[in-house]
Structure 1
Amino acid sequence: MHSKEQFNLTGKVAIITGSSKGIGKAIAKGLAEQGAQVVISSRNQEACDEVATAFNEEGLKAIGIACHIGKEDQRKNLVDKTIAAFGRIDILVNNAAINPVYGPIEEVSPEIFDKIMDVNVKAPWSLSNLVLPHFQANKNGSIINIASVEALTPGLGLGIYSTSKAAILMLTKNQAKEWGKFGVKANAICPGLIKTKFSAALWQNEKILSKVEKALPSSRMGLPKEMVGLACLLASDAGNYMTGGVYTADGGYMIAG
């Protein structure tokens, strides 16, 4: 197989959660540009449809299916509607996440703790389980869990978010270990500071941004499109021998002194 062909996703179907904006939208577009039929999903149907329509106008294949990722019935609906539309699922990108608080871990309420764990950990675990039978039917599948460099080293003010993302890394490794026999590979991407609405509280604070940029070998924050290449590799045949891996795309954050 020509190396170019290894990245070809024609005929594959990908669900990307939290893909009406930011990193999720960028990854969805990248997978679609490689030939995949993509499912744009977020809480708001209108937002999903807007992105799917824009993709289709560019000659890409996309549909929008709203899903509150924290609700089991909506997760099931997402999978059922994808199968109804495309008849298969080959790639799952667990990207949707929340971080409603910034501050010391002792100030996080039990309700907020539960909410973070429900969306950031339980939802990817549950959705992956729902997709597994379809991977098994194809004897092939790729799970890409979007974690964070916060999963690898503690920052300030993001303690419970970091804890949830650290859990995602171990979930990824267990998925890879247990589901490899079904032809399933599972990997995690750990972005650094990326310019999205999700991280706006950090990069809109000039003091924090200046400190981060001075510390980073790349001297700048990242852009959503800079997560795409890694996702396309892990989704495609080019990444077939990569499973259980944790990959950073962080401008050198993890080596910054």
Structure 2
Amino acid sequence: MYGEKCKGDSQKTTVIFLVWGWGGTQPAQVKSASDLLKFLFSTRKIWRQFLNHTVELNLSHDQPPRRRVGRDEAVIAISALRIGFAISRHLAQDGAHVVVSSRKQQNVDQALAVLQGEGLSMSGTMCHVGKAEDRDQLVATALRHSGNVDFLVCVAGVNPYVGSTLGSSEEVWDKILNVNVKAPALLLSQLLPHMENRGGSSVVLVSSIGAYLPEARLGAYNVSKAAILGLTKTLSLELAPKDIRVNCLVPGVIDTAFSKVTFEDPDFWNHLKGCHGIQRVGQPEDCSGLVSFLCSPDASYITGESIAVAGFSPHL
């Protein structure tokens, strides 16, 4: 339905109704109230069918009520800072008990002070995910709360070297791949016995827009984040029979200390604006809603996907 004022008379409006569906297509011009009544009367059967069909659509499917992440469900969020902090807050606000971690105890303490101060169900522990003994402690902390883990969100990442791929030393390669790629897989293998019998568990890995659009000075880091895309696909296939979904968050340029090397570079930023139309630097909170959705029953038919939160699409 749309209206168009008649030329030369600002007080008159021609309304054209376009009705389609069960009765075909019937255009009609309505220039007065009596024309409108005649039109509605002549098409009453179509409207009745439309309304009946709408009621059937609403009532015929016996769907369970929508629910968010529940109070009896536990989440391990690997990071107490920046994006990890925003995700932890969102999941806890949705009703989950969230276990946060960081390689520095002060980061854990600060996150818990804020989030528990908001009345959210939180616990946490120091964890360097590249160390097996720290991963053991993280799992034990999560299991102490409810004896199970329903969701794993791996946000932790490192980049100790800003420079070219071939300029990266073996030590740099080992550190980046150990934390960014190996640790999520090894941690998930430890959690698998506690997740596979829960039904509807979810894993969210975190890659980077650099996996699609590499920044030359982040060579080895880009490679590690591209590996996360492959890990997501592979794990989604392996874990589908166990009713565990695996998806990937792909943040763009987010306002964190970690990303300053990109958004404080005018050449790189102008390239994003010029080629991709990006309008602003993203905020950590821009990522949290997607993760909460991917952990919810609303995403029960989504797995193996890598979803960019970047202000533009990096895909073809």
Q: TM-score normalised to the size of structure 1?
A: 0.93
Deviation of the 1:2 alpha carbon = 6.3
2:265 is the counterpart of 1:217: no
Q: Which residue of structure 2 aligns with residue 73 of structure 1?
A: 133
| Aligned match for 1:112, one of 167, 172, 175 | 172
Q: Give the gaps of 5 or more residues in structure 2.
A: 1-62
1:108, 1:7 → 2: CA distance?
Answer: 43
Residue equivalent to 2:291: 231
Task: Compute the displacement of 1:80 (Å).
Answer: 1.2
Question: 1:123-168 deviations in whole A, cap 9, x for unaligned?
Answer: 0110111111111131331100000111123332222111111111
Q: How does 1:45-56 map to 2 (within 5 A)?
A: 45-56=105-116
Partner of 2:142: 82
From 41, 44, 60, the counterpart of 2:101: 41
In the TM superposition, what whole-angstrom CA distance separates every residue of 1:205-239 from its partner, at most 9, and x where no partner exists? 34443443444423111110000111011011111
Q: Does 1:127 align with 2:219?
A: no
Aligned partners of 1:195 and 1:222 also within 8 Å: yes
State the shift of 1:9 in Å: 3.0
Match of 2:222 in 1: 162
Distance in 1 between residues matched to 2:265 and 2:230, nearest whole Å: 32
Alpha-carbon distance in structure 1 between the residues aligned to 2:295 and 2:101:
18
Partner of 2:78: 17
Q: What is residue 140 of structure 1 aligned with on the other side?
A: 200
Q: Contact 1:99–1:161 (CA<8 Å) still a contact in 2?
A: yes
For the residue of structure 2 that corresponds to 1:64, the secondary structure is strand
Which range is displaced more, 35-44 or 79-88?
79-88
Is 1:95 matched with 2:155? Answer: yes
Given the alignment, which residue of 152, 173, 196 partners 2:233? Answer: 173
Q: Are the counterparts in 1 of residues 69 and 95 from structure 2 also a CA contact under 8 Å?
A: yes
Contact (CA 8 Å) 2:200, 2:297: kept in 1 or not?
no
Q: State TM-score, norm by structure 2.
A: 0.76
1:60 equivalenced with 2:127 (yes/no): no
Tell me the distance in 2 between the aligned counterparts of 1:255 and 1:11.
37
Q: Give the ranges of 4+ consecutive aligned residues of structure 1 lying more than 2 Å apart after TM superposition.
A: 5-10, 152-155, 201-218
AA of the residue aligned to 2:195: F
Distance 1:166 1:207, change over 3 A: closer
Alignment of 1:192-211 (within 5 A): 192-211=252-271
Q: Which runs of 5+ in 1 are unaligned?
A: none
Amino acid at match of 1:225: E
Query: Which structure is richer in relative contact order (CA contacts within 8 A, separation 6 or more)?
Result: 1
Q: How many residues align?
A: 254
Query: Contact 1:217/1:253 (CA < 8 Å) preserved in 2?
Result: no
Contact between 2:200 and 2:244, CA under 8 Å: does it hold in 1?
yes
Percent identity over the alignment is: 33
Q: Going by fraction, where is helix more abundant, 1 or 2?
A: 1
The answer (yes or no) to whether the contact 1:213–1:221 under 8 Å persists in 2 is no
Question: Take 1:211 and 1:114, find their aligned partners in 2: how far apart are those partners?
Answer: 31
Note the alpha carbon deviations across 1:67-99, whole angstroms, 9 max, x for none: 011101111110012101332111100110011
